[in-house]
Amino acid sequence: MQGDGPTYNQHTLLDQPWTSSWMISGENLSIFNPVTTNAVKWKTVATNVAVKKASVVWFRAILDTPNVDGVLHSTTDVAYALNLTTMWKGTAYCNGFLLGRYWMVAGVCKGTCAPPIKNGHCYMHWKNCNQPTQTLYHVPTSVLNTNGKNLIVLFEEVNAAPSGASNQKERDVEGVELVVLTSPNDLSPNDLSPNDLSPNDLSPNDLSPNDLSPNDLLTTDLSPIGIDGKSKDWVFLIKLGKGGNNCKKIKGKKNFDDNNFKGEDYECGILYADSANQTLRHISGTIHDLNLPLYQSWRNALDPSVAYQVWNDESGKSNVPPLGPGISAHDKGFLLFNNNSGLLCTHTCPHWLYSSSNRFRDAATFYNTSDPGGDASTYSQTFLLVALKNRTDVNIVRKMIARENAHVFYSNFGKVNKDFFPDYLEPNQPISTQFPTPPLHVMFDSSVILFTKQRNEHYDYWNFFTETFCKEKSMVWTYVLCASGILTSTNITNYNCYARNDRYGQGSEFGVSNWYPNHMKVGYCIENQVVSVAGWNHKKSQLLRGSMFVVIRSKQLHESFSRLFPLNTSILENKFNNIPE
């Protein structure tokens, strides 16, 4: 750098060494964002929080959007603000949106007249003396959640109340509230007379029956559909692997091999559980049956007004990149969403939901009989459908898709409001071998938790699952053999490493045949009643790749997993020592 530049103590600053300091931790972790707010542990505080010597403190709360006359109005009808009268100085966020800085410093009035005073004449008088100059901070209605629940995060940065403030000792966090600035009631009947609209301004011909459909008035609930035809919080399906009468060969262009799922055409039986009845059980039919949960949930994609993202590490054009640089995730799934809700499906089927003609909104895509994928193979597969109750949930999942670097090859916004769904693009993360701290998204009273393994993290995420959710050890069953480089965490018993006669899926426990061909990625805690479903193989070569993990706290599903691939205590005590192959 050259030039005179600014000076300090008679030294040119351009000649001095420059240093930089990283942002504060809360800002670095974006704990004001709904997607990453759980990156730290929060603790409950009293209504009145005494000011201590700490110079900074973060607060968060979920505030309801206020109703007007008992009605939650559309965002075009009502204007809202955040009342911060009882706080001091800092920065405010709503659902991750920066509202701006606030400061409750009192305005000081001097004398009787406010300036300017000319020739002794008082043009203006003081008002609201010793009160903050601003206490209401406008909240753009586009950032409020349609379900009325909003994440408010405040960053307080002073260690004492400003001089002149009414409360010198405490912050009253209970006093923070969302308030209505203007509402439909602000327009009285007298503001509009009959003469303002003549009968000629609108004729019956101006609105035809085709201009308004029932879909314009009712937003589709995109929740998973259970076998009883009712919406569920989640639905879990296992397509059985080949064994006994589990699968029936329909047709096939070539034999299956480990390098190519495409070409088989088998219809296999299924095991089923849902949030209402969480015990895994055999039900009649196959994955492709049009009256069963997978198709009934997926068919919302046929609605052109519904937005979608579809990803699969083994599908799509070779020149379609993932969302960012770096190796793509090992995940497979789809996301459907509208302005109010969404539906996540994470599955393990290579080449599924892919059409060479790029027609995703086509019923034939669901079962591509001309070129079937993992959905019609002899290997067992999993399908987990999860309801996303609001657009915050939807955007959190979209952020996770970007974080893991999923290979998205179909994407369409349908008729949703794009302002609600920003683009997410994660930079290519440097390689890390440290114990990870991914944001955990908690749903359904903590019974379902989502997190992602981001790409380039050289860490065993099944071990992360075990240390985070299990009291001690876990059992994991993924699509690998010990000889092919499986990870060997001391916390994990690998069902893959059993003798071949032991590592069959125990379908006989559920009234079907045992099977061995497996492409599922599932695990369960040995003691705690927790299971996980993922898209990530438990293998060293997979450390570069990202994946989504779904954790379910369920006594019944845990018991079902324990029966499906049971714990072998003798191998648990001596695992990785002379394991038979």
- The amino acid sitting at 463 is N
- Give percent of the chain above pLDDT 90: 39
**DSSP type of residue 55:** S
Encode pLDDT of 441-469 as tens digits.
Answer: 999 988 999 999 988 889 999 999 999 99
Q: Cβ atoms within 10 A of the Cβ of 94, count?
A: 22
pLDDT at 486 exceeding the cut of 50 = yes
Contact present, 250 and 208 (Cβ < 8 Å) = no
Predicted local confidence at residue 88, as pLDDT: 84
Contact present, 249 and 338 (Cβ < 8 Å) = no
Put residue 445 in one of left, alpha, beta given phi > 0 → left and psi -120 to 50 → alpha. Answer: left
Contact present, 271 and 510 (Cβ < 8 Å) = yes
Predicted local confidence at residue 469, as pLDDT: 94
Q: Within 13 A of 184's CA, how many CA atoms are on the CB side? A: 11
Tell me the CA end-to-end span of the chain in Å, nearest whole number: 65
Q: Looking at residues 314-322, what average pLDDT do you find? A: 58
Tokens of 80: 């809202």
What is the enclosing helix (H) or strand (E) of 524?
Answer: strand 522-525
| CA proximity to 464, closest of 538, 566, 556 | 538
pLDDT at 421 exceeding the cut of 70 = yes
Q: Looking at residues 402-409, what average pLDDT do you find? A: 89
**pLDDT confidence band for 505 (50 / 70 / 90):** very high
Angstrom distance (rounded) from CA 149 to CA 81: 15
Predicted local confidence at residue 513, as pLDDT: 95
**pLDDT confidence band for 566 (50 / 70 / 90):** very high
Q: Looking at residues 484-511, what average pLDDT do you find? A: 86
pLDDT at 414 exceeding the cut of 50 = yes
Put residue 142 in one of left, alpha, beta given phi > 0 → left and psi -120 to 50 → alpha. Answer: alpha
What Å distances lie between residue 368 and 236, 270, 359, 379, CA to CA? 22, 19, 11, 17
Burial of 554 (0-12, 13-18, 19+ CB in 10 A): buried
Encode pLDDT of 170-197 as tens digits.
Answer: 677 788 999 887 654 443 434 434 343 3
Predicted local confidence at residue 197, as pLDDT: 36
Q: Looking at residues 95-119, what average pLDDT do you find? A: 80
Q: Which of 11-15, 99-103, 265-269, 344-348 has the highest mean pLDDT?
A: 344-348
Predicted local confidence at residue 49, as pLDDT: 60
pLDDT at 5 exceeding the cut of 90 = no
**DSSP type of residue 302:** G
Predicted local confidence at residue 25, as pLDDT: 76
Give the largest CA-CA distance in the chain: 104
Contact present, 476 and 523 (Cβ < 8 Å) = yes
Predicted local confidence at residue 320, as pLDDT: 45
Predicted local confidence at residue 18, as pLDDT: 65
Pick 270 or 540 by higher pLDDT.
270
- 375 bridge partner residues: none
Pick 303 or 429 by higher pLDDT.
303
DSSP for 381-407, please give it: EEEEEEEE-SHHHHHHHHHHHHHHT--
Q: Cβ atoms within 10 A of the Cβ of 146, count?
A: 17
Give the rounded distance of the alpha carbon of 435 from its chain centre: 21
- The amino acid sitting at 131 is Q
Q: What is the mean pLDDT of the chain?
A: 80
pLDDT at 70 exceeding the cut of 80 = no
Q: Looking at residues 481-492, what average pLDDT do you find? A: 84
Predicted local confidence at residue 577, as pLDDT: 39
Q: Which residue is associated with the tokens 């899926």?
A: 505
Q: Which residues contact 388 (CB under 8 A, 6 or more apart)?
A: 222, 337, 341, 342, 343, 344, 394, 397
- The amino acid sitting at 184 is P
Burial 446-480 (b: 16+ CB within 10 A, else e): ebbbbbbbbbbbeebbbbbbbebbbeebbbbbbbb
| Tally of residues, the chain | 581
Q: Which residues contact 200 (CB under 8 A, 6 or more apart)?
A: none
Contact present, 435 and 486 (Cβ < 8 Å) = no
What Å distances lie between residue 284 and 23, 248, 498, CA to CA? 57, 14, 30
- What is the β-pairing status of strands 474-477 and 492-494? parallel
Q: Which residue is associated with the tokens 């125990």?
A: 506
Q: Which residue is associated with the tokens 């399906």?
A: 237
pLDDT at 569 exceeding the cut of 60 = no
Pick 68 or 402 by higher pLDDT.
402
pLDDT at 112 exceeding the cut of 90 = no
Q: Looking at residues 499-516, what average pLDDT do you find? A: 89
**pLDDT confidence band for 204 (50 / 70 / 90):** very low
Predicted local confidence at residue 524, as pLDDT: 97
Q: Which of 203-207, 302-306, 551-555 has the highest mean pLDDT?
A: 551-555
Q: Within 13 A of 214's CA, how many CA atoms are on the CB side? A: 1
- Name which of 7-21, 151-165, 373-387 the model is least confident about: 7-21
Put residue 497 in one of left, alpha, beta given phi > 0 → left and psi -120 to 50 → alpha. Answer: alpha
Angstrom distance (rounded) from CA 487 to CA 282: 32
- Name which of 428-442, 470-484, 488-502, 562-576 the model is least confident about: 562-576
pLDDT at 511 exceeding the cut of 50 = yes
**pLDDT confidence band for 321 (50 / 70 / 90):** very low
What 3-state DSSP class applies to 300? helix
Domains of the chain are 23-184 (2.60.120), 234-573 (no CATH)
Q: What is the CA radius of gyration of the chain?
A: 29
- Give percent of the chain above pLDDT 70: 76
Encode pLDDT of 7-48 as tens digits.
Answer: 555 556 566 666 655 567 788 778 888 878 887 788 887 656
- Name which of 332-341, 466-475, 498-507, 557-566 the model is least confident about: 498-507
pLDDT at 261 exceeding the cut of 60 = no
Pick 40 or 123 by higher pLDDT.
40
**DSSP type of residue 54:** -
Task: Please give the model's pTM, rounded to 2 decimal places.
Answer: 0.63
Burial of 97 (0-12, 13-18, 19+ CB in 10 A): middle
- Name which of 229-233, 271-275, 350-354, 511-515 the model is least confident about: 350-354
Q: Looking at residues 253-262, what average pLDDT do you find? A: 48
**pLDDT confidence band for 326 (50 / 70 / 90):** low
